[in-house]
Amino acid sequence: MKKLEIFDSTLRDGAQGEGISFSLEDKLSIIKCLDELGIDYIEAGSPSFNPKNSEFFNAVKNIKFEHSILVAFGSTRRKGISAKDDSGIKALIESGAKVACIFGKSSELHVKEILGTDEQENLEMISDSIITLKEHGMRVFFDAEHFFDGYKLNPQFSINTLKAAANAGAECISLCDTNGGCFPDEIFNITKIVVDTFPNIKIGIHCHDDGGMAISNSIMAVKAGAVHVQGTYLGYGERCGNANLSSIIPNLQLKLGYSCIPDYCMSNLTHAAHAISEISNIRLKSSTPYVGKSAFAHKAGTHADGVLKNSVSFEHINPQAVGNERRILMSDQAGRTAILRKISKIIPDISKDSPETGIILNALKQKELEGYQFEGADGSFELLVRKQLGMYLPFFELVSYKILDEEPSETSHSATATIKIRVGSRLQITAAEGDGPVNALDLALREALGIFYPTLASVKLIDYKVRVMDSGNATAAKVRVLITSSDNKSTWTTVGAGEDVIKASWIALVDSLEYKLIKNR
């Protein structure tokens, strides 16, 4: 297998994405994920950009990496000043990083109109910066900014910037589709020319996703001879983001025979994706290829039946190869085979033609007529199965609840919930204030049940969604509520439905806590 270098820029390019603001602890946690994944290079930002970055570089000096090498990011020196006197170059040298990745202009338009200088000065800025960094013992990668757009305008001008970097001693030159607007055939053809022109230096690729082709463009560059691939692990980045390494790596390694990360790390791809998503506080899209929750989810009866008979019928790889799993979605489109596969995890001895399978299928369809949807609510589906098969024993009985809304509220808590439950022969009454009626109900129920079931203290709600299903009925519309919960070990989703959003939320909330208690039992 031909080895490729993988260069992750989540902490720098990714941090430029809208809605992302990494703390020091966030950065250290992401570095750990990427190192465990076997990423070759982790670009950690510019040490001179702000005090937070300087604090990070000081903190990371004490970390021992198993796989990765930390990279400090910066630019070529400013015009009209020597590299040894440039504050940005000095910061790179003092960062403690062994590798520096600096970007420089490779487009005539940018040199003349953005930098306001000429070709010769730009070439000197590139070479002077690289030479100075190498004199201080650093390995240097050069990012040729706007290279592809620049090449299409003036090929020789852009090639000359690469020659300046190569002659100065750059170890790797990455060609950047900075505006993200190139097509795969353009990337392939131009990268091939560069690879042929510079046979003794590593050529890399750095793509943005403004045209929706960053993954394809990166792969085409590799096919053209690039051996160094830059991106961010979940595609985070400015505007539309960067090339998504969580898709690029398995495409190259599992399908094209390249070695991107150690083979034993491949099964960690999905875990790393979810971990980085949580750290970034950006929910991972379920449709994300390879690592998303829906990447190997099957809903149609024929699809589910086919994949259970022969997985290659509707799956392009084995989900376990990337640490993901197959999911058979429970809906009114599901057939007996799909239902059976799901039920067998709860009742191993059940058969396809048993009456119980038909009972569950009919109950599922009836619930969906009432507005429920179980394809994304595995927790509620398991509870439905248990109730239909007489395997359900309620952990508590609701006697009553009352909710009082106050608007405007004197405090940040706009609602109060009082709840009375019965556990065995004992009654428990609790009250709680919350930010809205659902939050107040949640807090009151947890407080009441916590007396009887202390393990519920580890459960937290991580997502709450309300879907209006028949908007034509205005405020009388039927709604569906989805609640996603976690106990720091696993995550599950439950569902409730009805015309009353509070009651629908209550149903989903109770399912969430009972699912946890069933798993403990």
**252-281 tens-digit pLDDT:** 999 999 999 999 999 999 999 988 988 888
User: How far is the CA of 422 from the CAs of 194, 282, 417, 452, in angstroms?
Assistant: 74, 39, 17, 10
Q: Is the N-terminal amide bond of 155 cis, ω within 30° of 0?
A: no
In a shared domain, residues 203 and 142: yes
Global pTM? Answer: 0.72
Chain center to CA of 215? 15
**204-223 tens-digit pLDDT:** 999 999 999 999 999 999 99
* Pairwise CA distance, residues 99 & 487, whole Å: 40
Q: Which of 440, 417, 419, 441 is nearest to 428 (CA)?
A: 419
In a shared domain, residues 432 and 521: no
The pLDDT of residue 354: 77
The pLDDT of residue 311: 80
CATH number at residue 249: 3.20.20.70
The whole-number average pLDDT for the span 110-117 is 95
In a shared domain, residues 357 and 440: no
* Pairwise CA distance, residues 330 & 338, whole Å: 8
The pLDDT of residue 76: 97
The whole-number average pLDDT for the span 490-513 is 90
- pLDDT(469) > 80: no
Residue 171 main-chain phi, psi, to 5 deg: -80, -30
> Which of 261-270, 428-437, 510-519 is most confident?
261-270
Residue 476's pLDDT band, with cuts at 50, 70 and 90, is low
In a shared domain, residues 61 and 132: yes
In a shared domain, residues 407 and 502: no
Is residue 318 a part of any domain in this protein?
no
What single string gives the DSSP state of each residue in 148-215? HHHHHH-HHHHHHHHHHHHHHT-SEEEEEETT----HHHHHHHHHHHHHH-TTSEEEEEEB-TTS-HH
Residue 337's pLDDT band, with cuts at 50, 70 and 90, is low
**140-168 tens-digit pLDDT:** 999 999 999 999 999 999 999 999 999 99
Three state DSSP letters for 391-454: CCCCCCEEEEEEEEECCCCCCCCCEEEEEEEEECCEEEEEEEEECCHHHHHHHHHHHHHHCCCH
CB of 35 within 8 A of CB of 66? yes
239 — alpha (psi -120 to 50), left (phi > 0) or beta?
A: left
Is residue 31 a part of any domain in this protein?
yes
Residue 24's pLDDT band, with cuts at 50, 70 and 90, is confident
Q: Which domain holds residue 241?
A: 2-261
Lowest mean pLDDT among 44-58, 250-264, 273-287, 497-511: 44-58
Is residue 159 a part of any domain in this protein?
yes
Is residue 344 a part of any domain in this protein?
no
Mean confidence (pLDDT) of the chain = 90
The pLDDT of residue 350: 74
- pLDDT(385) > 70: yes
Q: Which of 452, 469, 484 is the endpoint of a domain?
A: 452
Q: Which of 261, 296, 319 is the endpoint of a domain?
A: 261
In 281-421, where does DSSP find H-type helix? Answer: 301-309, 336-343, 355-369, 378-388
Q: What residues contact 113, with CB distance under 8 A and at least 6 apart?
A: none
Beta bridge partners of 417: 403, 432
Tally the domains of the chain.
3
CB of 153 within 8 A of CB of 109? yes
Q: Which amino acid is at 363?
A: A
Chain center to CA of 80? 42
In a shared domain, residues 20 and 60: yes
CB of 447 within 8 A of CB of 433? no
* Pairwise CA distance, residues 305 & 22, whole Å: 44
The pLDDT of residue 411: 65
The pLDDT of residue 304: 64
Do you know the residue count of the chain? 521
* Pairwise CA distance, residues 240 & 292, whole Å: 19
Count of alpha carbons within 13 angstroms of residue 93, beta-carbon side: 19
The pLDDT of residue 6: 98
In a shared domain, residues 246 and 357: no
In a shared domain, residues 514 and 407: no
- Say if residue 407 is exposed, middle or buried (CB neighbours under 10 Å; 0-12, 13-18, 19+): exposed
**173-214 tens-digit pLDDT:** 999 999 999 999 999 999 999 999 999 999 999 999 999 999
* Pairwise CA distance, residues 197 & 192, whole Å: 9
Q: Which of 222, 237, 261 is the endpoint of a domain?
A: 261
Is residue 111 a part of any domain in this protein?
yes
In a shared domain, residues 99 and 134: yes
CB of 207 within 8 A of CB of 243? yes
The pLDDT of residue 75: 96
Is residue 36 a part of any domain in this protein?
yes
CB of 301 within 8 A of CB of 332? no
In a shared domain, residues 170 and 72: yes
- Say if residue 506 is exposed, middle or buried (CB neighbours under 10 Å; 0-12, 13-18, 19+): buried
Is residue 44 a part of any domain in this protein?
yes
CB of 20 within 8 A of CB of 280? yes
Is residue 276 a part of any domain in this protein?
no
Buried/exposed code over 353-381 (b: 16+ C-beta within 10 A; e: otherwise): eeebbeebbeebeebbeebbbbbbbbbbb
User: How far is the CA of 465 from the CAs of 305, 332, 378, 483, in angstroms?
Assistant: 30, 21, 16, 7
In a shared domain, residues 212 and 357: no
In a shared domain, residues 244 and 386: no
CATH number at residue 514: 3.30.160.340
